Amino acid sequence: MIVIQRRNKIKERLFEQRSVKVSDLVKEFNVSEETIRRDLNQLESEGLVVKNYGGAILSEEVDSLPIPPVQQRTLHFFDEKDAIGRKAAELVGEKQIIILDSGSTTWCMARHLKQKDSLMVVTNGMNVAEECSQNEETSIIVLGGKLIKKSMSLVGPQAEMELRKYNAHYSFLGASGISLRKGFTSSDIYEAEIKRAMIAAGQKVVLLADHSKFMKQGLVAFSSFADVDMLITSDLADPDMLKQIEDTGVEVVVCPVK
């Protein structure tokens, strides 16, 4: 297991248990105590934990906040999602119109759009809109609809109708799962409908997915491989599956995770 994978697993333990012990992590990952302490030092520098004798606890600031599930998902595999988001942002030119799906990886992408001038961003993600608002030159259109609190996304017929007005240069979407049989899937039927409308509204469709999404299958398929132009993922994803997806005609972009 490489460093980033181990640290992501430690983050998951922290959100589940609120604390971890060095001795337990040494046994679980079969590494030295010094290695685990370096991992905890890094997580402390990120503001996620406070170290104590024999381990660490989730920082009081993080633990006391009512963190929505979408933000919890952002913290899981953050370095990987951030690398994917950075690569996706490189595709965007100034003065373009882009559609950004709700989700943790698209939120990471929004972080890297701050230097782009005169963008128009159409989104159904409250967290994405908030992040994009930090650039005063970015025009932001938030789709109307019913709010799904777990994902902070707006869905429903109103949002779908609004999307029909747009002809965006790019549509950037996330997925709950990717399978060779079903294609790209979502865990929510209403979010799947919005994703279909976003695909129809974009000249180019780009799917962003961390390695955990592969070989998973959500409740509803929203797109076949034929409807997606590019898949951006990381070098943690299964290379054999990526090759099979590439063989369907999807351009696969693999980002290194440090």
State whether 184 and 231 are in the same domain: yes
Please give the pLDDT value at position 73.
54
Please give the pLDDT value at position 72.
52
Run of H or E including 222? strand 220-223
State whether 193 and 99 are in the same domain: yes
Structure token pair of residue 153: 């996304």
Q: How far apart are CA 132 and CA 154, in angstroms?
A: 16
Residue 6 has pLDDT above 60, yes or no: yes
Q: Which domain holds residue 136?
A: 70-255
State whether 93 and 10 are in the same domain: no
Cα–Cα separations (whole angstroms), residue 21 to 4, 13, 33, 38: 19, 10, 10, 13
> Is the Cβ–Cβ distance between 193 and 160 less than 8 Å?
yes
State whether 109 and 236 are in the same domain: yes
More confident residue, 137 or 78: 137
SS3 of residue 218 by DSSP? coil
Enumerate the H helices of 18-155 as residue ranges.
22-29, 33-45, 60-64, 69-75, 78-89, 104-111, 126-132
Residue 60 has pLDDT above 70, yes or no: no
12: number of Cβ within 10 Å:
14
What is the secondary structure of 59-89 as a DSSP string?
A: -HHHHHS---HHHHHHHTTHHHHHHHHHHHH
Among residues 42, 64, 86, the one where a domain terminates is 64
Q: Residue 41: which CATH number?
A: 1.10.10.10
State whether 217 and 105 are in the same domain: yes
State whether 14 and 132 are in the same domain: no
Span 235-249, average pLDDT: 95
Cα–Cα separations (whole angstroms), residue 22 to 3, 15, 19, 228: 16, 16, 10, 44
pLDDT digits (tens, 9 = 90+) for 214-227: 978 788 899 999 99
State whether 124 and 227 are in the same domain: yes
Smallest CA-to-CA distance from 201 within 100, 91, 129 is with 100
State whether 247 and 186 are in the same domain: yes
69: pLDDT confidence band, cut at 50, 70 and 90?
low
Phi and psi at 109, nearest 5°, equal -60, -40
Q: How far apart are CA 183 and CA 224, in angstroms?
A: 5
Span 163-180, average pLDDT: 95
State whether 145 and 31 are in the same domain: no
State whether 27 and 126 are in the same domain: no
State whether 121 and 19 are in the same domain: no
Q: Residue 170: which CATH number?
A: 3.40.50.1360
Number of independent structural domains in the chain: 2
Q: How far apart are CA 151 and CA 85, in angstroms?
A: 18
Residue 47 has pLDDT above 80, yes or no: no
Q: How far apart are CA 168 and CA 121, in angstroms?
A: 9
- Angle (CA) 135 71 192, round 5°: 90
Q: How far apart are CA 93 and CA 91, in angstroms?
A: 7
Q: How far apart are CA 209 and CA 52, in angstroms?
A: 35
Please give the pLDDT value at position 59.
76
State whether 47 and 93 are in the same domain: no
